Amino acid sequence: MDMNIGFIGLGVMGQPMAQHLIEAGHEVFLHRVKDTSQHLVEKGGIPTGTPAEVAKAAQVIILMLPDTPDVEAVLFGPEGVAEGLTSGKTVVDMSSISPVATKDFANRIVEQGCAYLDAPVSGGEAGARAGTLSIMVGGTSEVFDQVLPIFRHMGKNINLVGGVGDGQTAKIANQIIVALTIEAVAEGLLFASRAGADPAKVRDALMGGFASSKILELHGERMINRTFDPGFRISLHQKDINNALSTARSFRMSLPSTALCQELFNSCAAQGHGELDHSALVKALETMASHEIGTGRE
């Protein structure tokens, strides 16, 4: 069934996601259209002036924004989504933000007689373009079932994790595991290279054993071949890990290895590598080892 959809946040991820919805036949109201996203209008997207206008026009309003303050501003700032909502509409935040803030945002939207889902994604720009994103959803099963046909235009692995905020919690857990696994792969391959072994052959051997992982396969190859074009940028992973650490701090719990990965990302950013793929975390370890994987150089 075709549905009026609003889409706010037309960045690297948002543009292809919105395009899938337009191509599926939905009437899609867009904010903010720039030169880089003008092609969406040419395909049938409808530009709007403010988030409030999007909310007035659409039944389901999707956000795909950089961080927690951006979501709050778009929802509740001047001419924000909240000003344009009427009872019965649904807000779907597909950004990756704080689960604690998400619960607060949801409560404020529900008070207006509307529904709220948090639905962060994993899969990066490639997954957004292919329509194969993993989507981790928090909210009620009733609202999830209503929005599921829309999600299916953008993703393949779509799961209702639990209540509001649980989607964001799952995304943070994902980003913790990915960061720590990148760090482990980097240490292992750097050790192998420094010891004089061929890191590519070591990686091949490990792929057949218990250390095998998608990250060893894909990001290990990036480290060996020095192919650090993103991908998923270090600067974005820093943002997600900041959400992990700040949320953990609010729980009075420790995430020691996560904090270590953030410091390694910070070191990379200080060296000017923040816009490289997150597999370039290995560069921080290489600096400390005075050795670069794959070159034998010290």
Q: Annotated catalytic sites, by residue?
A: 171
Q: Which of 113, 109, 110, 131 is nearest to 121 (CA)?
A: 131
With contact defined as beta carbons under 8 Å apart, do 274 and 264 qualify?
no
List the structure tokens of 203.
């990686």
Residue type, 165: G
Q: What is the DSSP letter of 233?
A: B
Q: Which residue's entry shows tokens 């803030």?
A: 101
For residues 34 and 105, what is the distance between their CA atoms, to the nearest angstrom? Answer: 27
For residues 8 and 74, what is the distance between their CA atoms, to the nearest angstrom? Answer: 8
Q: CB neighbours of 29 closer than 8 A, spacing ≥ 6?
A: 4, 5, 6, 7, 45, 46, 47, 48, 53, 54, 57, 58
Question: Would you say how long the chain is, in residues?
Answer: 298
Residue type, 210: F
Cβ-count burial 55-86 (b if 16+ within 10 Å, e if not)? bbbbebbbbbbbbbebbbebbebeebbbbbbe
Instruction: Provide the pairing of β-strand 133-138 with 121-122.
Output: antiparallel
